[in-house]
Amino acid sequence: MTNPFDLTGQTALVTGTSRGLGQYLARALAQAGADLILTSRRRDDLLPFAAEIESLGRKVIPLALDVRDQHSIATMAEAAIAQAGQIHILVNNAGCNVRKPAFDVTWDDWNLILDTNLRGSFFVAQHIARHMADRGFGRIINIGSVTSVFGYAGLAPYGASRGGIRQLTMSLADDWGQHGITVNCLAPGWFETAQNRVMYQDKEWVDYLIDRIPLKRPGEPHDLDGAVVFLASELSRYITGQTLLVDGGISTGAMRATVKPKP
């Protein structure tokens, strides 16, 4: 019997793969058989990870991309399509964050976060989806967050960008379904990466976090594997516009933050 999760012969473009969750997601797709296009602002920063993926026997195309620059998006998309021939899967992962009380957020903070996380994801998807539509097939996976669904103090622009990603996912699913393209949002909970490492150095905060996660630990590198491979695979063919939270259950316990559970 053929493996319905097998991605052999498909090419996945994963943005933001110089470190962090982008590498976890890309590695899972490569282990399922996909060839990869990797991006970050500096191409050289991709080379160690590209070598790791090549050692699995996959083809890798590392490309520079700044998602805040429309010319960079157009240039990357053109090069990716020319070099890969066909792109079947796009994972819109590149993103950034600035943690601040809402009173302290500046105009530049807002622009940085919204331009990177929301505008960048849209225009990368637009370029790649035109190519996918010509071939009548595509899987787009936008990376969201638990803040796509819930509010969190200190993350006002970030939460707005992630809520926007969830809404964008639904709009694009409605728009591009007719072209054989599914668009879904994979929303991770709390994973330690360069973006938030400073928070994990605070033991009191980590204990507080773990107390609120039903599965009693933060996310680990392979915790996103099943969701990303599923959303990229043939088995998710009739699922579009959805947000899949991979968060150890923290979103189910939203009331736990304020209301002590009674036995």
Ligand X SMILES: NC(=O)c1ccc[n+]([C@@H]2O[C@H](COP(=O)([O-])OP(=O)(O)OC[C@H]3O[C@@H](n4cnc5c(N)ncnc54)[C@H](OP(=O)(O)O)[C@@H]3O)[C@@H](O)[C@H]2O)c1
CB of 4 to ligand X, least distance (A): 27
Which residue lies nearer to ligand X by CB, 119 or 174? 119
Which residue lies nearer to ligand X by CB, 205 or 235? 205
Q: Which residue from 245, 228, 246 is spatially nearest to 236, judged by alpha carbons?
A: 228
Say how many CA atoms lie within 13 Å of 54 toward its Cβ.
10
CB of 5 to ligand X, least distance (A): 22
Q: Residue 60: beta bridge partners? A: 36
Q: Vertex 188, ends 187 and 192: CA angle to 5°?
A: 155
Answer for the pair 125, 140: CB distance below 8 angstroms, yes or no: yes
- Verify binding: residue 67, ligand X, rule CB under 6 A: yes
- Verify binding: residue 157, ligand X, rule CB under 6 A: no
| One residue of 33, 62, 95, 163 binding ligand X per CB under 6 A | 95
Rounded to whole angstroms, the Cα distance separating 25 from 183 reads 16
Q: Which stretch binds ligand X (CB under 6 A): 20-28, 103-111, 130-138, 167-175?
A: 20-28
Which residue lies nearer to ligand X by CB, 122 or 191? 191
Q: What is the dihedral of CA 234, 235, 236, 239, to 10 degrees?
A: 120
The secondary structure of 237-254 as a DSSP string is TT--S-EEEESTTGGGGG
- Verify binding: residue 52, ligand X, rule CB under 6 A: no
Tokens 């919204």 label which residue? 114
| One residue of 33, 66, 81, 233 binding ligand X per CB under 6 A | 66
Rounded to whole angstroms, the Cα distance separating 247 from 187 reads 8
Rounded to whole angstroms, the Cα distance separating 222 from 52 reads 16
Q: Which stretch binds ligand X (CB under 6 A): 93-101, 134-142, 173-181, 203-211?
A: 93-101
- How large is the C-alpha radius of gyration of the chain? 18
CB of 112 to ligand X, least distance (A): 8
- Verify binding: residue 169, ligand X, rule CB under 6 A: no
- Verify binding: residue 6, ligand X, rule CB under 6 A: no
Which residue lies nearer to ligand X by CB, 100 or 179? 100
The helix (run of H) or strand (run of E) holding residue 25 is helix 20-31
Q: Known catalytic residue: 152?
A: no
Which residue lies nearer to ligand X by CB, 24 or 176? 24
Rounded to whole angstroms, the Cα distance separating 147 from 20 reads 18
Residues of this chain, 181-240, that bind ligand X according to CB under 6 A: 188, 190-191, 193-196
Q: Which stretch binds ligand X (CB under 6 A): 18-26, 73-81, 129-137, 173-181?
A: 18-26
Which residue lies nearer to ligand X by CB, 116 or 233? 116
Which sequence positions are flagged as catalytic?
Answer: 158
Residues engaged in binding ligand X (CB under 6 A): 16-22, 40-42, 45, 65-68, 93-97, 116-117, 143, 145, 188, 190-191, 193-196
